[in-house]
Amino acid sequence: MPLFCRPAARCLLRAATSKQRSWTRCYAPGRSGSGQWLITTPIFYVNGPPHIGHLYSAVLADALHRHWELMGRDAGYFATGTDEHGLKIQMTAASAGTSPEQFCDHMSAKFRELFTQAGISYTDFIRTTEPRHKQAVEHFWTTLRDRGWLYQAHYEGWYCTVEESFLAASQVTEHLDAQGHKCMVSLETGHQVHWTKEENFMFKLSEFQEPLLKWLWESKAAITPEPFHQQVLQWLEQDLPDLSVSRDRNRLQWGIPVPDDSTQTIYVWVDALVNYLTVVGYPNTHHAWWPAACHVVGKDILKFHAIYWPALLMAVGLAPPEKIFVHSHWTVQGQKMSKSLGNVVDPGACFWRYSVDGFRYFLLRQGVPERDCDYYDEKAVKLVNSELADALGGLLNRCTAPSLNPKGSYPGFSEACFPKDPASRHGRGSSKALAEDYKLVTLVKDLPEQVSGCFERFQIYRALECIMDCVRQTNGFVQRHAPWKLCRKDPEQQQWQDTILHITLECLRIYGSLLQPVIPATADKILTRLGVNPSERSLSNLNFLSRYYGGKCPFEGRRLGPDTGLLFPKLEKQTDAAGILKY
Ligand code: MSP
C-alpha cells in the first residue's frame, strides 16, 4: 500500500474533501506560464566561511542547470546567494567586533568568490540584505496578513538560537554541559535551547496539513529521492502546530521589521525562503517562472522546504515548487564536520589539491543523495587518478597520439570493417568487429538517454557511473584490437586502424559532451582536442557514430584540435598523516 494511503493520511484527505476547507481557494497547481524554469541552491548562512558541504549543494544545482541548458530546455534561471539575517549572524558579528553589515559583506564575498572559482554558473546571486528582497518579503507578509493567515499570540516554548526555531517539548531533552550543569538541548541537533516567552505573529500552518498531503499525493515525484518524500509524509501524519513567524525586535534587530509593527522582526526562515521569489521578480514578474522551480536542499533543511515553504506559498495563492531535490551530508573521515572538532574542510584547499574539476568530479561521483558520504584524501586521490587521469585521460592520449594518428585528423570509418548488416559480421568481407564491439556501440548509443534519465531523477552519481562504465569498455575495445600493432602500409589494416580510432573518438566525443555539466573545463579540453566546435556540443542531438547508422559524420577527416598535454595529471599520495585539508 503506498504510504499516502495509510489510514492516518487517508483519513486526513477524507476530512479535507468533506469539509472543503478554506485552503481550496488557495492556489492552482501547474507549470509556469512561459515554460521557463528556475533552479536554486539554498542561500548560505554567512556566520562562517564556506565548506565542502555548502559547495556540494551548489555543485549539484550547477550540474543540473548546465545539463538542462545543454539539453536545450527553455530558458533557465539559476539562483544562489547568502542568507544574512538572524540572531546567529547578529551574535557572530558582535563577537568579531564588527557591524552585521560589514560582517555580511565580507562573508558573502567569500561565497561569491568560491562559486566563481568552482565554475558555479549562477544567473543571480541574491543577498537577503538587498532592497529588492526586503520589498518582496514585505509584500509576501502583507499578502499573508490580508488573506487572514496570520494572528497574534503569546508564545512560549524552548527556543534554539542556532536553529532559529521554537521546539516542542518532545523535541528537547535534559543534558549535562561541560561544567556539569543541567541544561536543555535539541534532541535532533544537540544545540542548547532556552525557555522563551514572547508575543509573536503566528502563521496558521495547522490548516495546511491536508493541502500538503494532497499536494504530495498528487505529485509523487515532487520530493526526490523517495525516502525523503516518505519522511515528509510521516511528519505530516503527526500534529502540525501553527508556526511562530516573528520575533521580538528587542531580541532580534538584524532582520526585516514586520510591516506596520516595528516591535517585531520577521522570522528568518520566512525571510530566507522568500528569496526564491525575489530572484524572479516577485511580486511583479514571478509568474513567468513560478511554479517551475526546482530547489536543491540538504536533508537538514527539508522540513522548511517541504512543509513550511509550500504551505506559505499556498497561503499567498501560489503553487508549491515543482521539485525539491534533497541530498545528504558529507562527513570527514567518518565524523560530522564541525568547528569544534577542527575538521571543517576548506574547498579552496581541495581545488588546489585535486583541481576544480577533480574535486567537482569527486563530490558528484561519490555523493549519493540518499545517504551520507565520507571524504578523505586517499579516496579522492584514488578516484581522480583511476577514472579521470588513467581511464579517460589515457584513452584520449592514446587515440590522438601522433604515433597512432600521424595525420592529426578525425580518422575515417569503414563500413566494410564494421558492417551494420549482421550477415556480413561473421567472417565475410573484411569485417573485423566482434560481438563485444557491437555491444559497446549499442551501449554508447543509449548512453545519452540513460544519463538524462539519471539527471532527471537526481542521480548524478549514477550518470557518472554509467559514463565510466562505457569509458572502461572503450579502453577494453582499444586493448582488444591493439591498433598500434596494425601496419598502416597495408591498406586493409590501415582502414581497420582508422575505424578503431574513429569509433573510439566518437565514444570520447559522447563522454566529453555528457561530462560538460560535471567537469566543464576538462570536457572542454576533450572536445577541443577532438575538434568539436562549441556549437556542436549540445546534448540534444549527439548523433553517435552516424556513419555506422548510415548517416554522414561531420567530423570525419576534420583536423584535431591542438594537443594541450595530459588531460589530467596524476596525483601523488599525501605524505601528511592526517590527510585532511583544513582551513
Ligand atoms: N540559510 C539556510 C538555508 C536557507 S534556504 C532558504 C541554511 N544555510 S547553511 O549554510 O547552513 O546550509 C546551506 C546548505 O549547505 C544546505 O543545503 C545544507 O544541507 C548544506 N550543508 C551544510 N553542511 C553540509 C554537509 N556537511 N554536507 C553536505 N551539505 C551540507 O541552512
Atom of ligand 1 nearest to the CA of 44: 10
Q: Where do the CATH 3.40.50.620 domains begin and end in the chain?
A: 3-150+210-237+268-327
Atom of ligand 1 nearest to the CA of 309: 6
> Hunting for cell 589515457 — which residue is that?
394
Q: Which fold has domain 3-150+210-237+268-327?
A: Rossmann fold (3.40.50)
Torsion on CA atoms 419, 423, 424, 426, rounded to nearest 10: 110
State the Cα–Cα distance between residues 25 and 12, nearest whole angstrom. 18
From atom 8 of ligand 1, which residue's Cα is the shortest distance away? Answer: 44
pLDDT tens digits, one per residue of 183-212? 999 988 888 999 988 899 999 999 999 999
* Average pLDDT, consecutive stretches of 10 residues, N- to C-terminus, the chain (583 residues): 31 36 43 76 96 98 96 88 94 93 97 98 98 98 98 90 83 90 90 90 98 96 97 95 93 94 96 98 94 96 98 98 97 89 92 97 97 96 97 96 92 94 60 93 98 96 98 98 94 95 98 98 98 96 95 96 91 62 48
Residue 329 alpha carbon to ligand 1 centre in Å: 9
Contact between 446 and 469 under an 8 Å Cβ cutoff? The reply is no
Closest by CA to 398, choosing from 517, 457, 294, 481, is: 481
Residue 50 alpha carbon to ligand 1 centre in Å: 10
Q: What angle do CA 570, 401, 470 make, to 5 degrees?
A: 65
On average, the pLDDT of the chain sits at 90
DSSP at 171: G
Return the number of other C-beta atoms located less than 10 Å from residue 239's C-beta. Answer: 10
Return the number of other C-beta atoms located less than 10 Å from residue 163's C-beta. Answer: 17
Torsion on CA atoms 107, 108, 111, 115, rounded to nearest 10: -150
Atom of ligand 1 nearest to the CA of 297: 17
Atom of ligand 1 nearest to the CA of 54: 15
Q: Which mutation among 114, 128, 301 tests ligand 1's pocket best, with the greatest number of atoms within 8 A of CB?
A: 301
By 3-state DSSP, what share of the chain in percent is helix, strand and coil, each rounded to 5?
45, 15, 35
Q: Which fold has domain 378-536?
A: Isoleucyl-tRNA Synthetase; Domain 1 (1.10.730)
Q: Where do the CATH 1.10.730.10 domains begin and end in the chain?
A: 378-536
Closest by CA to 509, choosing from 548, 461, 474, is: 474
Residue 304 alpha carbon to ligand 1 centre in Å: 12
Task: Tell me the backbone φ, ψ of residue 558, rounded to 5 degrees.
Answer: -75, 150
pLDDT tens digits, one per residue of 51-88? 999 999 999 999 999 999 999 877 789 999 999 999 88
Residue 495 alpha carbon to ligand 1 centre in Å: 55
Contact between 58 and 120 under an 8 Å Cβ cutoff? The reply is yes
DSSP element (H, E) containing 84: none
Contact between 229 and 220 under an 8 Å Cβ cutoff? The reply is yes
Would you say the pTM of this structure is higher than 0.75? Answer: yes
**E strand intervals along 236-372:** 243-244, 246-248, 257-258, 261-266, 293-298, 323-327, 330-332, 335-336
Residue 316 alpha carbon to ligand 1 centre in Å: 26
Residue 572 alpha carbon to ligand 1 centre in Å: 32
Residue 260 alpha carbon to ligand 1 centre in Å: 32
Residue 58 alpha carbon to ligand 1 centre in Å: 10
Question: Which pLDDT value is given to residue 468?
Answer: 98
Atom of ligand 1 nearest to the CA of 45: 10
**Residues paired with residue 10 on neighbouring β-strands, in sequence order:** none
From atom 15 of ligand 1, which residue's Cα is the shortest distance away? Answer: 54
Question: Which pLDDT value is given to residue 280?
Answer: 97
Q: Provide the H-helix boundaries in 118-167.
A: 131-146
Question: Which pLDDT value is given to residue 164?
Answer: 78
Residue 248: is it exposed, middle or buried by C-beta count within 10 angstroms (0-12/13-18/19+)?
A: middle
From atom 23 of ligand 1, which residue's Cα is the shortest distance away? Answer: 53
Question: Which pLDDT value is given to residue 162?
Answer: 79
Contact between 349 and 581 under an 8 Å Cβ cutoff? The reply is yes
Q: Provide the H-helix boundaries in 147-250.
A: 209-218, 226-237
Q: Which mutation among 41, 44, 115, 341 tests ligand 1's pocket best, with the greatest number of atoms within 8 A of CB?
A: 44
Atom of ligand 1 nearest to the CA of 275: 6
State the Cα–Cα distance between residues 244 and 166, nearest whole angstrom. 8
CA distances for 167 relative to 134, 173, 189, 524, angstroms? 27, 11, 11, 49
Which protein residues touch ligand 1 with a CB less than 6 Å away? 42-45, 53-54, 56-57, 83, 272-273, 275, 297-298, 300-301, 329-330, 337
**Residues paired with residue 82 on neighbouring β-strands, in sequence order:** 44, 127
State the Cα–Cα distance between residues 363 and 380, nearest whole angstrom. 9
State the Cα–Cα distance between residues 105 and 85, nearest whole angstrom. 12
From atom 6 of ligand 1, which residue's Cα is the shortest distance away? Answer: 273
Question: Which pLDDT value is given to residue 46?
Answer: 96
